[in-house]
Structure 1
Amino acid sequence: MSDPYISEVKYLGAATLDFVEIAVESGTDVSDLVVTIYNADGTVRSTNSLDGLSYTTVNGKDVYVVESGSPSTFSGLHKFGGVSLSDSSTLYNFISFSDNASTITATEGPASGQTSTDIGVAGSGASLETTDGGATYVTQTSPSKGTIPCLTKGVRVRTDRGDVKVEDLEPGMRVATVDGGHITLRKLLSRKVCDQEIRRDIRLAPVRIRQGVLGNNLPSRDLLVSRQHRMLVSSPIVKRMFGEENVLVAAIRLTDLPGISVDDSVMDVTYYHLLFDRHCIIFAEDAPTESLFVDRDTMSCLPSDVIAELSALFPHFRATTYAPKPARHIPDGKRQKKLMQRHAKNACLPLLSYKAPMPGSAKASPDPAETA
């Protein structure tokens, strides 16, 4: 069983928005785990027990979030401060973050006498997230708290045999792509989320995209996906902002628009991840959407047995030089938000203003240009 670790930390901006995320193997007893927040001078700012906190189980990991009001002892983080994770006998992590790459020597608390590891710097609204179990951290412009993009049970995916429910797909089947032709499905992963988990953490509830709201009568039926699952957006606004015909945008970013919302009425949901030899755009309920994009963030959210299986199928996933290329440009969180704001302003302009790409079809002309 792997050690618990600090999986994500946000420390700039209002203290009420600060958080520390902890990941442990599913079923781990956390009654002895403590998150200690340090000031820049090495003194303790707050001591926060995980015992009694709610958690989310994501692909074999129980994920706990220390944030404003949970627990009541948490009072935010200092922008030049640090965080330790420990139990009564072991110091698992002691990290710090600052603009000048300085470290902290703790003068008290569980890390007393130890020097922190500086993990870098994140701007306001961003976080620092580990991609390898706490060994290194990267900037996350849209803090995700451990979610992975996926489709839900019952969604129909286009294949060379016609539309097939996602749960009925099998490795070896040929799935249609927007770039023409078909690609072989290599692996289908799934995870069921029960009503209790959704009630405990609304971030596990799916996003419902109503029939036809994307434009061009798409999707052909209501489509349910996870919050971080990305949909293809193709419009004159995209062309103006990014110089490209289409980009990929997380479903949660689309919820500013009519007909797209988090569906908290769902009692339970099963999420499916479709893995191919490369990241690609497929069709779900006839709407263009992404397959599983396996970058280091994704790998860090998977249980160890799944990582081992994927590494056997795709040895390059674990290479230090591995740098996967997305099928389409993925703007950062702020740019995705700006794109949706412009679409909201131009309410008559659908997200798929260009006709949805079909295998072997020519690109169509756009709808009337945006007004702003």
Structure 2
Amino acid sequence: MSGGQGQDSLYGDEGQDHLYGGEGADLLKGGEGDDLLVGYTGDGGGGADDRDTIFGGFGSDTIHGDAGDDLLSGDGGSDFLYGGEGNDEVHGHNAHDQVTDPVGDELYGGAGSDSLYGGSGADLLDGGSGNDRLFGGAGGDTLFGAGGSDFLSGGSGNDQLFGGDGPDTLYGGTGDDYLEVANGGHLDGGEGDDTLRGGDQASTLYGGDGQDLIFGSQGADLIRDGDAATIYGGGGNDDIRLGSLQNAAAPGWIEGEDGDDIIDVYGGGHHICGGEGADDISVSAAPGLGVSTIYGGSGDDKLTAEASVEAHGGDGSDYFNVFGPGAATLYGGSGDDLLSGGAGDDRLYGEEDDDLLSGGDGADSLFGGTGRDTLFGDSGADHLEGGAGDDTLIGDAGSDTLYGGEGNDMIGGGEGSYRFVDGQTHYHIDPDDAPDSLYGGEGFDTFYVGSGDVIADFNTATGGDIRDGDRSNNDFVDLSHFYNASTLAVMNAARSAMGEPVYRTPLDWLRADQADGVLSDISPANGFQDSFTLRILNGGVPVAGSDLTVENTNVICFAATTVLQTPKGGRAAGSLRPGDLVSTRSGRAERVTWCGLRRVSCYEMQIMPYLRPVLIPAHALGPGCPAADLLLSGNHRLQLEPGGGLLAARLLLGRRGVRRVILPQGVDYVHILFDRHLLLDAQGVAAESLWPGPKAMNSLDPASREEIYHLYPALRYGWLPEPAAAFLQGKRALHYLDRLSGPSFSPAESSVVQTCQ
């Protein structure tokens, strides 16, 4: 039946009817039976004037809207609906007995912005070109947006939604749905275990409830899921959220993949991999939800966790910060990492490169690994191991056990704090009352102690003479703030009151205190306000008191009687004051900025040979060099020829009569500092001024060090002035002396003149 031109109404009734509307806005009703209904418009038709309304009725109908903005309804039966050109509205509907035998429809929107409604049943909806709206309804539907920016809603059932070209919006609804876009868009899986794919462009993906599988696009995606999910971020800088404070997600699997990703999860038992790029990962959860495993991947990653985690930094310089009561296990991997534990009993592994580890509260275990690491136990009974490299270990509060491992380590058991200046770590240590056990391990270590501590392997002699004046070839513990002139006065007052002989020096007292294997004289019983105890052991045996030495380097110091040239003539070094002008070997006069003095008694020189001054006889180094006998510290550097390097005076011992001497009256060593390192004229010999390197500064008393730091604050943070000439040490110095040597410059036995009276 054909309607021809005009607005026709065609009714098929029962049977297999063929109805053609022709031109005009026609009404076609197929009725019962498997009908063919076509709303044909003829040549040049379309638009509102040719808006056909077609109802298939019962039966498996085939319906074509053709051109025009048509309304198509399949009604009952398994229908085939094709909207054709124009903005069509297509409804699939179902068979009359849809509750017990749902039947799926095929809906094709064609060109234009169409609206397709699938109803119940497993429907196929294809929007065609244009910005279409597709509604699957009940049943397992398949929706294709095709061209244009489309809106697809699967409804109930296990649906498949394909956005096609353009940025599309897809809602899976209830059921286990599959959502995919080609060029980005908005995807929401809804309830059920859904699969979402973002395509090539940046997408927004919401998994919804259920255990979802989410694949991000190659762009910067926004990914959210409220429950357990498997998420792959893809390329681009993705923003991934899993769970919330109101809904702790069940264990999920998240991989950020390429790009600098933000990953934020709530819950426990997750597997998270940041992938390539500098990723920012946050994990939070209430206690008892399981341990999340995290891999930062390559790049400088950041992890913040308020949950129990096991985290691996991978490549790059990573920052891991854990807080809250849960226990964490952190691995830094390669790169200079910063690992910080929380309130639980954490295990931190710096692994490769130069790492900073901070245990936080709890009984933590910290392992530096290779590189120059810094370990802080913080509060709690902690276990620290530096590993290979020159490490710094600070136990902080609590009874800690510290092992330096290989390398020359700095080990402190007491409370401490640290800060960062110019990329370097600077620390301050205060003794606490909790006893710590300190193990230096291999290398020459520096210990910082508090009351009650035990140094278990104080290596006093390996690799060097404990009385050679060189602190760098032995372990070192700074006890000067416990045993000094002030505390000696208190101790001697107590001994005098008891009728016991007093100690001559703080070192005498220290050695006597060590005789029973425990340093314990500093106590209220002897007039002190507080108590201090320390055990210094090696191999389980107390170190002998005689093996505790000053190990004072006195790197650069003159005897007070040494004559230095000034613009007004020669002056004794001990008479110089800040502001005085001193002549230099360059011919210029420079102004003194600081002077210091250290007196060494005859008794100290007798029992500690390295404190004896070096005597260079007159003319020993050449005519007028020196002009008169010259007394210097053994570590004071000299320049033997113009433009040559600097070598310590003690290296000349045994050559041309150079020797150490004991002076009955003792000796005063003078330190003279200028704005820069200089060569001075010391009785005709080119001798250096004070070069404030680490050894020189350690040889000074604390008050003198603070005076210099006040004048030159940068020294506190590692800055050093340029040396006036190259320092010659070891084989290089010996080769230099061999080159200068002759019959009168060959080594001979050093002799000691004079004795204490």
Fold-level match, TM-score > 0.5? Answer: yes
What secondary structure does 1:270 align onto? strand
What secondary structure does 2:653 align onto? helix
Residue 347 in structure 1 maps to residue 743 in structure 2: yes
CA positional deviation for 1:290? 0.4
Alignment match, 2:478: 23
The structure richer in helix per residue is: 1
Alignment match, 1:269: 667
Alignment match, 1:179: 586
* Cα distance per residue 1:280-302 (max 9 Å; x no partner): 00011121110011012222222
Alignment match, 2:708: 310
* Cα distance per residue 1:113-156 (max 9 Å; x no partner): xxxxxxxxxxxxxxxxxxxxxxxxxxxxxxxx533321112111
Residue 219 in structure 1 maps to residue 641 in structure 2: no
Report if the CA contact (8 A) 1:275-1:291 is conserved: yes
CA positional deviation for 1:47? 2.4
Residue 11 in structure 1 maps to residue 505 in structure 2: no
After superposition, the Cα gap between the structure-2 partners of 1:163 and 1:55, relative to the gap in structure 1 and judged at 3 Å, is farther
Return the match for 2:697 from 278, 292, 299.
299
- Distance in 2, matches of 1:212 and 1:179, equals 22
Alignment match, 1:35: 536
- Distance in 2, matches of 1:231 and 1:156, equals 15
- Distance in 2, matches of 1:220 and 1:252, equals 19
Higher relative contact order (CA 8 A, sep 6+): 1
Report if the CA contact (8 A) 2:655-2:745 is conserved: no
Alignment match, 1:331: 728
Identity among equivalent pairs (%) = 25
- Distance in 2, matches of 1:160 and 1:176, equals 6
- Distance in 1, matches of 2:705 and 2:744, equals 44
- Distance in 2, matches of 1:267 and 1:223, equals 17
Per the normalisation by structure 1, the TM-score is 0.59
Return the match for 2:554 from 132, 147, 151.
147
What secondary structure does 1:24 align onto? coil
CA positional deviation for 1:227? 0.5
* Cα distance per residue 1:261-298 (max 9 Å; x no partner): 11135541011011001110001112111001101222
Return the match for 2:564 from 151, 154, 157.
157
Alignment match, 1:252: 650
- Distance in 1, matches of 2:548 and 2:601, equals 13
What secondary structure does 1:335 align onto? helix
Report if the CA contact (8 A) 1:153-1:271 is conserved: yes
User: What amino acid sits opposite 1:290 in the alignment?
Assistant: E
Alignment match, 1:48: 542
- Distance in 1, matches of 2:646 and 2:577, equals 26
Report if the CA contact (8 A) 1:257-1:340 is conserved: no
User: What amino acid sits opposite 1:329 in the alignment?
Assistant: A
After superposition, the Cα gap between the structure-2 partners of 1:36 and 1:55, relative to the gap in structure 1 and judged at 3 Å, is closer
What secondary structure does 1:340 align onto? helix
Per the normalisation by structure 2, the TM-score is 0.30
After superposition, the Cα gap between the structure-2 partners of 1:2 and 1:218, relative to the gap in structure 1 and judged at 3 Å, is farther
After superposition, the Cα gap between the structure-2 partners of 1:9 and 1:323, relative to the gap in structure 1 and judged at 3 Å, is farther
After superposition, the Cα gap between the structure-2 partners of 1:259 and 1:295, relative to the gap in structure 1 and judged at 3 Å, is same
- Distance in 2, matches of 1:318 and 1:193, equals 27
User: What amino acid sits opposite 2:577 in the alignment?
Assistant: E
Alignment match, 1:368: none
User: What amino acid sits opposite 2:560 in the alignment?
Assistant: K
User: What amino acid sits opposite 2:731 in the alignment?
Assistant: K
- Distance in 2, matches of 1:191 and 1:326, equals 23
Report if the CA contact (8 A) 1:54-1:200 is conserved: no
After superposition, the Cα gap between the structure-2 partners of 1:343 and 1:289, relative to the gap in structure 1 and judged at 3 Å, is same
What secondary structure does 2:546 align onto? coil
Report if the CA contact (8 A) 2:656-2:744 is conserved: no
- Distance in 2, matches of 1:307 and 1:14, equals 27
CA positional deviation for 1:324? 2.5
Alignment match, 1:196: 603
User: What amino acid sits opposite 2:542 in the alignment?
Assistant: N
- Distance in 2, matches of 1:332 and 1:308, equals 29
CA positional deviation for 1:12? 4.5
* Cα distance per residue 1:141-186 (max 9 Å; x no partner): xxxx533321112111101111111111111111111112111001
- Distance in 2, matches of 1:293 and 1:160, equals 23
Report if the CA contact (8 A) 2:555-2:699 is conserved: yes
After superposition, the Cα gap between the structure-2 partners of 1:308 and 1:341, relative to the gap in structure 1 and judged at 3 Å, is same
* Cα distance per residue 1:314-346 (max 9 Å; x no partner): 1111123x13321011112232123223433x2
- How many pairs does the alignment contain? 245
What secondary structure does 1:53 align onto? helix
Report if the CA contact (8 A) 2:460-2:547 is conserved: no
CA positional deviation for 1:55? 5.3
Alignment match, 1:123: none
- Distance in 2, matches of 1:269 and 1:14, equals 23
- Distance in 2, matches of 1:328 and 1:181, equals 17
User: What amino acid sits opposite 1:205 in the alignment?
Assistant: R
* Cα distance per residue 1:75-122 (max 9 Å; x no partner): xxxxxxxxxxxxxxxxxxxxxxxxxxxxxxxxxxxxxxxxxxxxxxxx
* Cα distance per residue 1:228-247 (max 9 Å; x no partner): 00111117xxxxxxxxx311
Unaligned runs of 5+ in 2: 1-428, 432-437, 439-445, 449-458, 488-508, 514-518, 520-533, 747-757
After superposition, the Cα gap between the structure-2 partners of 1:46 and 1:206, relative to the gap in structure 1 and judged at 3 Å, is same
Report if the CA contact (8 A) 2:464-2:474 is conserved: no
- Distance in 1, matches of 2:547 and 2:607, equals 7
CA radius of gyration, larger in: 2
User: What amino acid sits opposite 1:34 in the alignment?
Assistant: R
Report if the CA contact (8 A) 2:627-2:683 is conserved: yes
User: What amino acid sits opposite 1:36 in the alignment?
Assistant: L
Alignment match, 1:288: 686
**Alpha-carbon RMSD:** 3.2
CA positional deviation for 1:215? 1.1
CA positional deviation for 1:54? 6.5
Unaligned runs of 5+ in 1: 38-44, 57-62, 65-144, 236-244, 351-372
After superposition, the Cα gap between the structure-2 partners of 1:20 and 1:188, relative to the gap in structure 1 and judged at 3 Å, is same
Matches within 5 A, 1:95-114: none
- Distance in 2, matches of 1:315 and 1:204, equals 30
What secondary structure does 2:722 align onto? coil
What secondary structure does 2:479 align onto? strand
Alignment match, 1:133: none
User: What amino acid sits opposite 1:157 in the alignment?
Assistant: L
After superposition, the Cα gap between the structure-2 partners of 1:53 and 1:315, relative to the gap in structure 1 and judged at 3 Å, is same
Report if the CA contact (8 A) 2:602-2:663 is conserved: no
After superposition, the Cα gap between the structure-2 partners of 1:53 and 1:12, relative to the gap in structure 1 and judged at 3 Å, is closer
Report if the CA contact (8 A) 2:616-2:658 is conserved: yes
- Distance in 1, matches of 2:630 and 2:588, equals 23
* Cα distance per residue 1:295-314 (max 9 Å; x no partner): 12222222221111111111
